[in-house]
Amino acid sequence: MKQSHIVILVTAKDKKEAQKISRALLKDQLIACANMVSGVESLFWWQDKIDTAKETLIILKTKTSLFKRVLTRIKFLHSYKNPEIIALPVIDGSKDYLKWISSSVM
């Protein structure tokens, strides 16, 4: 079974927001799994200056075919005007794990 999978990186303002986004995506069966990494220090350009923030990184696993729906849902739930939502292709992995992702989402 050849299935196309992605990992999506999203930063949130805090753990509470990361949990809200993750739970909504899980409930909608748009993702199979969300890992949340608290205490991420981000440095970035914003409004013509370098800014900094303490954030929570969300690592989402899903199928490529669901990306647009995940993107739309995150934008609706997220507090940021321009949230980080970046999809990375999964080029290989445990066949059993990839099969589990596919069976866990719509």
Q: Name the fold adopted by 5-104.
A: Alpha-Beta Plaits (3.30.70)
**Whole-number pLDDT of residue 1:** 42
75: left (phi over 0), alpha (psi -120 to 50) or beta: alpha
Cα–Cα distance measured from residue 67 to residue 39, given in angstroms and rounded to the nearest whole number: 26
Which uninterrupted H or E stretch holds 16? Answer: helix 15-27
pLDDT, tens digit only, all 106 positions of the chain: 455 999 999 999 999 999 999 999 999 999 999 999 999 999 999 999 999 999 999 999 999 999 999 999 999 999 999 999 999 999 999 999 999 999 999 9
Residue with tokens 């013509």, as numbered in its chain: 48
Task: Sketch the domain layout of the chain as residue ranges.
Answer: 5-104
Structure tokens at 75: 């934008």
Q: How far, CA to CA in Å, does 55 sit from each of 15, 48, 76, 95, 101?
A: 8, 20, 19, 32, 26
